[in-house]
């Protein structure tokens, strides 16, 4: 399912538009964080607060922390392993994403929603692989689990 989402998103690579691709739409839940060993990011209490958080996407809105926000821009970029390593400083396998490339999706501008208080806009930065998804929040990476399409 995620592979087909990634393929459809690849067709939109490097395009900013006002709606989220249908393949991302639906209900998702934030899972456990990946152990990155990075000195920056959220503390353990903040990570725990994010685990289990529900995120709902429609073609034109994001619902998180009990608030709904209009999606104004969507940037989609396809990153092969070398490009991902150059951009993020680690390979995507470190966050459970394997495949030919990662689809990197940025919704709206950073810190635009402020839906969850101090957190850096949970759900606005997604990374999709063939059979896995992750989100980045405050320089930490969390598993993203699909609940419904």
Q: What is the C-alpha to C-alpha distance for residues 71 and 148, in angstroms, rounded to an integer?
A: 20
Residues 6+ apart with CB under 8 A from 73: 16, 17, 18, 107, 108, 109
What domain range includes position 7? 2-148
Q: Give how many domains the chain has, as a whole number.
A: 1
As a whole number of angstroms, the distance between CA 73 and CA 42 comes to 26
Q: What is the DSSP letter of 108?
A: S
Range in 13-22, 51-60, 89-98 with the lowest mean pLDDT: 13-22
What count of residues does the chain have?
A: 149
Distance from C-alpha of 9 to C-alpha of 104, rounded to nearest angstrom: 9
Q: What is the pTM of this model?
A: 0.81
As a whole number, mean pLDDT of residues 14-24 equals 64
Say whether pLDDT at 7 is over 50. no
Average pLDDT, the chain: 81
Sign of the dihedral through C-alpha 100, 18, 28, 147: negative
pLDDT digits (tens, 9 = 90+) for 121-135: 788 899 998 888 999
Q: 61-109, pLDDT tens digit by residue?
A: 889 988 888 888 888 889 999 999 999 999 999 998 987 889 899 988 7
Is 13 in a helix, a strand, or coil? Answer: coil
Q: Could you give the CA distance from residue 93 to residue 95 in angstroms, rounded to a whole number?
A: 5
Q: What's the CA gap between 81 and 119, in Å, rounded?
A: 28
């Amino acid at each position: 399912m995620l592979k087909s989402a990634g393929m459809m998103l690849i067709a939109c690579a490097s395009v900013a538009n006002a709606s989220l691709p249908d393949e991302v739409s639906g209900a998702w839940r934030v899972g456990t964080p990946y152990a990155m060993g990075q000195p920056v990011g959220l503390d353990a209490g903040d990570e725990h607060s994010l685990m289990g958080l529900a995120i709902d996407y429609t073609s034109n809105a994001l619902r998180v922390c009990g608030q709904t926000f209009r999606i104004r821009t969507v940037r989609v970029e396809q990153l092969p392993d070398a490009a991902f390593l150059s951009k993020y400083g680690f390979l995507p396998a470190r966050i459970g994403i394997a495949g030919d490339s990662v689809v990197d999706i940025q919704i709206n501008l950073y810190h635009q929603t402020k839906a969850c208080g101090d957190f850096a806009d949970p759900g606005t930065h997604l990374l999709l692989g063939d059979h896995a998804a992750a989100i980045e929040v405050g320089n930490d990476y969390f598993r993203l689990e699909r609940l419904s399409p």
